[in-house]
Amino acid sequence: MKASEAIVKCLINENVDTVFGYPGGHILEVYEALRKSKVNHVLVRQEQAAAHCANGYARVSGKVGVCIATSGPGATNLITGIATAYMDSIPLVAITGQVNSMKIGRDMFQEADITGATESFTKHSYLVKNENDLPRIIKEAFYIASTGRPGPVLIDIPSDIQAAKIKKLAIPETVNIRGYKPTTKGHIGQVKRAIKAISESKRPLIIAGGGVILSHAQNELLQFVEKTGIPLVHTLMGKGSLPTLNRHYFGMIGNHGFSGANRAVSKADLLIIIGTRVADRTWGGVSDKISEGMRIIHIDVDPAEIGKNVGTHIPLVGDAKTILTQMIDRIEKINTDEWLSELNSDKRAAGKRATDLVNPRHAIETISKKLNDDAVIVADVGQNQIWAARYFEDKIDRRFLTSGGLGTMGYGLPAAIGAKIAAPKRQVLAVVGDGGFQMSLQELGTISHKKLGIIILLFNNSRLGMVRELQERFYGKVNAVELDKNPDFIKLCDAYKIKGIRVTTDSELEDAFDKAIRHKGPFLVECVVDPNESTLI
Amino acid sequence: MNRHVLSVLVENQSGVLSRVSGLFSRRGYNIDSLSVGETEDPKVSRMTIVVRGDDYILEQIKKQLNKLIDVIKIVEVNPQQSVFRELAMIKVNTTMETRASVIEIVSIFRANIVDVSSETLTVEMTGDESKIEAFINLMNNYGIAEVVRTGLAAIERGSKQIKNQKVNEEE
């Protein structure tokens, strides 16, 4: 058997039915083996999109996303997508072609040291030197990518290794890596300490992060919150961890979160941080000093996150779902009525800014009401992301995807492709700005080609709106943010045979969204937004 | 900024050294020295890394190193219960007049002379860092042509061993 066929067999053995990729000279063998297999290959229009597609696919399917690229520029184009997945802990396996193993290091045509280049943002990587190692390496790669704190793993395979013969394909059934034994279950002594601290607290508050979503712990978190009565705020990546309408829900914290939610953090006497590193953008929003004597319980599957950005009194290393389950059985209701009513009275309703054009908040709220209870929303990066994060209603089966850690513009459209392919029956909404949209425009080709029924909600303010906001705040002047020569996006979509409507006032939104939802196939709703619109509306 | 000595067991394969050293540079940790070689198990290498940092930095270094798949085990070596050694080779400028006094110092330090030329004398010595520093300082009076140092190697005293298996806390 050819090694390339073994690679595909190993992928199928890992339950892979869809891969995203772009072929090239040093990955030809793998593509020939893919052609002969049942694996569905989605051809993207640029490799970075393959990694973002695999990211969206992984987050919606719960499986490991797979992307494939050739050596050299194919591999280097993947880098931003791999780094995006790394920062958000998304399980990905990236397979790259490499030049002939005997010629590595001679600066061959399309040679790039991709394991070296991605070293700082892959969870692990392999440069395959012997074809007989492939079954073990692929098995390990999927295991490493999906267990513990998930993340991207890269497998770089030289062309001669792909073409080599393997005598007998023996896929190992188990993985044993002596340097990698992630902890999932919480230390029972620490669980008891945490429960004691919770029972003694008067003003406990949960900060839920992306780890809750990654470990599929939404139901456990809901149970925990309902049983204890503890209020919850969340990070950008933790959006969707608790339904918006739950009475314990107090919104998103952080620089772009709600001030009431940020104030809640500073007023609490006990923080229960679950599955978040509490990065600068999260903690930066908590402007008031945290209360004296506040205690912190930090639950995270990655021990290195505990104590990194915030001090911790009770560390609890393990998987969010497992630990919440351990705690639910042992914990009792605490009296939080007074604390909840205090938080409720601090929830100030933000007023909507009057505009002759489309109010982005109104647009998000309107489509949120219309979409199904299991819809997937993918937000790009920038103002559109913040509007979506603040005003899209979370339900237990909905999913919110965005590039929270790396903040990669251009993520939205390809991630929505991956999401739609993972769940063809679910509604997928891509929220993008005119800046980020143009970073991935080429993927309209993929959407059109695969006839993917994605709704694209484009906020067009002919600006890089977030940068404009920052420049005005810090310098009082703007530079290099005007996109006044934007193309006609409706015509552009038309060229890709994608239908679209341009909406210029709030009153047209209902009708436009109804059309978009009814339409079978991709649909663009372009909302013209005031260039001076702010994220904190 | 305290000095810490870490013994790190890693898989003996290509790319590991780059992963470890890359981690230090990208997270802004300072390495004083790093030495590496095969252990009693040929599949395992042992690195002795000397780092500087406060408790927070040290904790982060250990945790971040532990995240590397190729890292099997990390132990901070207690200087009171361990033996530290470094090998240094020092080429000292000598003349007919100074050679005898250099040889005298070499013998006081229990070092070895491994090469002689008409203008130089090459000394090999092992010891902890302070011994080597002291010797180098003395040799500076004569003029040092070259210094080669291996970096520190550390081993714990007694029958204690660093096992090459990561223990899963759940088991």
DSSP states along A405-461: SS--TT-HHHHHHHHHHH-TTS-EEEEEEHHHHTTSGGGHHHHHHTT--EEEEEEE-
In sign, the C-alpha dihedral spanning B54, B12, B165, B162 is negative
Chain B residues touching residue A141 (CB < 8 angstroms): none
Chain A residues touching residue B45 (CB < 8 angstroms): none
- Cβ separation A303–B63 shorter than 8 A: yes
**CATH number, span A360-528:** 3.40.50.970
- pLDDT score for A350: 64
- pLDDT score for B170: 41
Chain A residues touching residue B12 (CB < 8 angstroms): none
Residue A378 CA to residue A513 CA, distance in Å, equals 16
Search chain B and give the residue with CA nearest A311.
B56
- pLDDT score for A291: 73
- pLDDT score for B168: 47
Q: What's chain B look like in SS3?
A: CEEEEEEEEEECCCCHHHHHHHHHHHCCCEEEEEEEEECCCCCEEEEEEEEEECHHHHHHHHHHHHHCCCEEEEEECCHHHEEEEEEEEEEEECCCCCHHHHHHHHHHCCCEEEEECCCEEEEEEEECHHHHHHHHHHHCCCCEEEEEECCCEEEECCCCCCCCCCCCCCC
Domain A3-163 and domain A360-528, same fold? Reply is yes
Structure tokens at A464: 């890089």
Min distance B17 CA to chain A CA atoms (Å): 12
The answer to whether residues A328 and A223 touch, using CB atoms and an 8 Å cutoff, is yes
List, edge to edge, every strand of the sheet that includes A523-528.
A399-401, A376-379, A428-433, A454-460, A523-528, A499-503
Q: What is the largest CA-CA distance in chain A?
A: 71
Residue A292 CA to residue A290 CA, distance in Å, equals 6
Suggest the residue from B9, B26, B169, B171 to mutate for an interface test with chain A (most A CBs closer than 10 A). B169
Chain B residues touching residue A178 (CB < 8 angstroms): 72, 164-166
- pLDDT score for A293: 84
Chain A residues touching residue B14 (CB < 8 angstroms): 127
Q: What is the largest CA-CA distance in chain B?
A: 68
Structure tokens at A74: 């194919």
- Cβ separation A120–B169 shorter than 8 A: no
Residue B60 CA to residue A41 CA, distance in Å, equals 41
Q: How many CA atoms lie within 13 A of A401 on its CB side?
A: 35
- pLDDT score for A281: 83
Residue A234 CA to residue A274 CA, distance in Å, equals 9
Q: What is the dihedral of CA A104, A110, A114, A118, to 10 degrees?
A: 160
- Shortest CA distance to A327 belongs to which of A398, A274, A378? A274
Give A350-357 contacts, CB < 8 A, sequence gap 24+: A350/A258, A350/A536, A350/A537, A352/A537, A353/A533, A353/A534, A353/A537, A355/A529, A355/A530, A355/A533, A356/A505, A356/A530, A357/A504, A357/A505, A357/A527, A357/A528, A357/A529, A357/A530
Suggest the residue from A139, A178, A316, A326 to mutate for an interface test with chain B (most B CBs closer than 10 A). A178
The answer to whether residues A89 and B67 touch, using CB atoms and an 8 Å cutoff, is no
The answer to whether residues A431 and A380 touch, using CB atoms and an 8 Å cutoff, is yes
**CATH number, span A188-346:** 3.40.50.1220
Search chain B and give the residue with CA nearest A118.
B19
Search chain B and give the residue with CA nearest A153.
B69
- pLDDT score for A537: 58
Using DSSP's 3-state secondary structure scheme, residue A238 falls into coil
Min distance B48 CA to chain A CA atoms (Å): 17
Residues of A with CB under 8 A from a CB of B: 115-116, 119-120, 123-125, 127, 144, 177-181, 183-185, 187, 302-304, 307-308
Q: Which of A124, A127, A183 lies closest to B69 in CB terms?
A: A124
Structure tokens at A48: 């970075």
Q: What is the domain partition of chain A in residue ranges?
A: 3-163, 188-346, 360-528
The answer to whether residues B157 and B8 touch, using CB atoms and an 8 Å cutoff, is no
- Cβ separation B166–A181 shorter than 8 A: yes
Residue A488 CA to residue A482 CA, distance in Å, equals 16
Chain A residues touching residue B64 (CB < 8 angstroms): 304
Q: What b/e sequence results for A450-460 when a residue is b if at least 16 CB atoms lie within 10 Å of its CB, and e otherwise? A: bebbbbbbbbb
- Cβ separation A119–B59 shorter than 8 A: no
Using DSSP's 3-state secondary structure scheme, residue A137 falls into helix
- Shortest CA distance to A209 belongs to which of A165, A128, A271, A133? A271
Residue A274: phi and psi, rounded to 5, are -125, 115
Residue B64: phi and psi, rounded to 5, are -70, -40
Asked if B168 reaches chain A (Cβ–Cβ under 8 Å), the answer is yes
Chain B residues touching residue A123 (CB < 8 angstroms): 69
**CATH number, span A3-163:** 3.40.50.970
- Cβ separation A181–B167 shorter than 8 A: yes
- Shortest CA distance to A469 belongs to which of A412, A402, A530? A530
pTM: 0.94
- Cβ separation B59–A307 shorter than 8 A: yes
The answer to whether residues A407 and A80 touch, using CB atoms and an 8 Å cutoff, is no
Please, is B68 exposed, middle or buried when counting C-beta atoms within 10 Å of its C-beta (0-12, 13-18, 19+)? buried
Min distance A303 CA to chain B CA atoms (Å): 7
Amino acid at residue number A290: I
Search chain A and give the residue with CA nearest B10.
A179
The answer to whether residues A513 and A358 touch, using CB atoms and an 8 Å cutoff, is no
Q: What is the pLDDT along chain A (537 residues), one digit of tens a residue?
A: 999 999 999 999 999 999 999 999 999 999 999 999 999 999 999 999 999 999 999 999 999 999 999 999 999 999 999 999 999 999 999 999 999 999 999 999 999 999 999 999 999 999 999 999 999 999 999 999 999 999 999 999 999 999 999 999 999 999 999 999 998 999 999 999 999 999 999 999 999 999 999 999 999 999 999 999 999 999 999 999 999 999 999 999 998 999 899 999 999 999 999 999 988 888 877 766 677 789 999 999 999 999 898 889 999 999 999 999 999 999 999 999 999 999 999 887 666 678 899 999 999 999 999 999 999 999 999 999 999 999 999 999 999 999 999 999 999 999 999 999 999 999 999 999 999 999 999 999 999 999 999 999 999 999 999 999 999 999 999 999 999 899 999 999 999 999 999 999 999 999 999 999 999 999 999 999 999 998 875
Using the structure block, give the residue that is written with the tokens 């219309």.
Answer: A370
Asked if B93 reaches chain A (Cβ–Cβ under 8 Å), the answer is no
- Shortest CA distance to A265 belongs to which of A281, A244, A280, A285? A285
Amino acid at residue number A205: L
- Interface contacts (A, B; CB < 8 Å): 49
- Cβ separation A181–B168 shorter than 8 A: yes
Q: What is the dihedral of CA A409, A410, A416, A419, to 10 degrees?
A: -70
Chain B residues touching residue A308 (CB < 8 angstroms): 60
Structure tokens at A232: 């919850």
Search chain A and give the residue with CA nearest B63.
A304
Residue A1 CA to residue A164 CA, distance in Å, equals 8
Q: What is the pLDDT along chain B (171 residues), one digit of tens a residue?
A: 789 999 999 999 988 999 999 999 888 888 999 999 999 999 999 999 999 999 999 999 999 999 999 999 999 999 899 999 999 999 999 999 999 999 999 999 999 999 999 999 999 999 998 999 999 999 999 999 999 999 999 999 988 888 766 554 443
Chain A residues touching residue B19 (CB < 8 angstroms): 119
Measured from the Cβ of residue A259, the count of other Cβ atoms closer than 10 Å reads 17
Beta bridge mates, A18: A40
Please, which residues have CB within 8 angstroms of residue A10's CB and are 6 or more apart in sequence? A134, A135, A138, A139, A171
The answer to whether residues B139 and B102 touch, using CB atoms and an 8 Å cutoff, is yes
Residue A401 CA to residue A403 CA, distance in Å, equals 7
- Cβ separation B72–A178 shorter than 8 A: yes
* Residue ranges of B 67-86 with Cβ closer than 8 A to chain A: 67-73
- Cβ separation A144–B69 shorter than 8 A: yes
Suggest the residue from B43, B67, B74, B171 to mutate for an interface test with chain A (most A CBs closer than 10 A). B67
Amino acid at residue number A296: I
